[in-house]
Amino acid sequence: MRQILKDHGIQLTKSLGQNFLHDGNQLGRIADLANLSTSDKVLEIGPGLGPLTEVLMKRVGQVMAIELDRKLSDVLRTRFEGSSSFSLHHVDALHFLREKAHDWTGWKVVSNLPYSVASPILVELASSPMPPSQIVATLQWEVVKRLRAKAGTKDYGVLTLLVAQRYQTGAGFKIPANCFFPQPNVDSGCLSMELRNPQPVPWSDLQTFQTLVKLAFSQRRKMMVKLLRTRWNQADVEKAMGACDLPLSIRAEQLSLEQFVELMNHLGA
């Protein structure tokens, strides 16, 4: 890997989260988690030099890759351009996902995500009107803990809920730092997230749900009722909380996904 980077004059950029996974065993485990078949279409965000891409190409029918770094994109193009099942977008993945509503029906996302933008990318995918059926992502272990967090714990918050309204977390595993080059100074792991069916928040209510959750957690230690009145009428908030059997003293971190959805339904847009 070091030699390829040297040959192409590539200097690694810390801000782009360029920690490349070089351990074949871990790459195989990531692909296994996605339960891939040749009929699958996979989106890979941040393929880097393409070690995971190569594994994916052997297992699925189509790989779409999005890589921001120009030199890495050149390497990927040279490496995979012969294959009609590979396409590459040299753009910022966040811009790509936000610029228009893509139809990800029938797609899976399998990626070693750039850690600096992993959370907004997951939220963006979970906010899509036509989301991918599964996301298998390598993430900072702190983020894995937040995605898996239960109500009432310190890791539970906005990220947990904005992703959980679309995806339930499945299997996952830790990946030792020495499997990456250069080694990250945080713990890493891979997590599978599967699309919920039925979805607890209809797409038409998603903006209201996001506003509710962000406002409720805007000051974690404060009573939720006080935070919500900047957006909803105080009397309406109290009535909705009463209808949901929620005490007025409750804080956001104590509410489950189901309770947030019920509260949203009583509050209205």
Chain residues binding ligand SAM by CB under 6 A are 16-21, 45-48, 51-52, 66-69, 72, 92-94, 112, 114, 117
The three-class DSSP label of residue 132 is coil
User: Cα(7)–Cα(80) distance, rounded to whole angstroms?
Assistant: 18
Considering the complex, state which of residue 180 and residue 209 has its C-beta at the smaller distance from ligand SAM: 180
Q: Shortest approach of ligand SAM to residue 92 CB, angstroms? A: 4
Strand partners, 21: 180
By beta-carbon proximity to ligand SAM, the closer residue of 56 and 162 is 56
Beta-sheet strands, E only, within 78-209: 86-89, 107-112, 134-140, 167-175, 180-181, 188-195
Q: In this chain, which residue has its C-beta nearest to ligand SAM?
A: 46
Shortest CB 191 distance to ligand SAM, Å = 15
| DSSP SS3 for 265 | helix
| Nearer residue to ligand SAM within complex by CB, 51 or 131 | 51
Q: Strands 134-140 and 188-195: what pairing?
A: antiparallel
CB-CB neighbours of 213 under 10 Å:
22
Tell me how far apart the terminal alpha carbons of the chain are, to the nearest angstrom: 52
Which residue lies nearer to ligand SAM by CB, 66 or 158? 66
Token reading at 253: 């971190």
The residue count of the chain comes to 269
Task: Give the nearest distance from C-beta 189 to ligand SAM in angstroms.
Answer: 13
Q: CB of residue 1 vs ligand SAM: minimum separation in angstroms? A: 8
Pick 112 or 160: Cβ nearer ligand SAM: 112
Minimum distance of ligand SAM from residue 21's CB (angstroms)? 4
**Residue among 62 and 112 whose Cβ is closer to ligand SAM:** 112
Determine contact, residues 147/191, Cβ cutoff 8 Å. Answer: yes
User: Of the candidates 45, 50, 46, which has an alpha carbon nearest to the alpha carbon of residue 22?
Assistant: 50
Least distance between ligand SAM and beta carbon 69 (Å) = 4
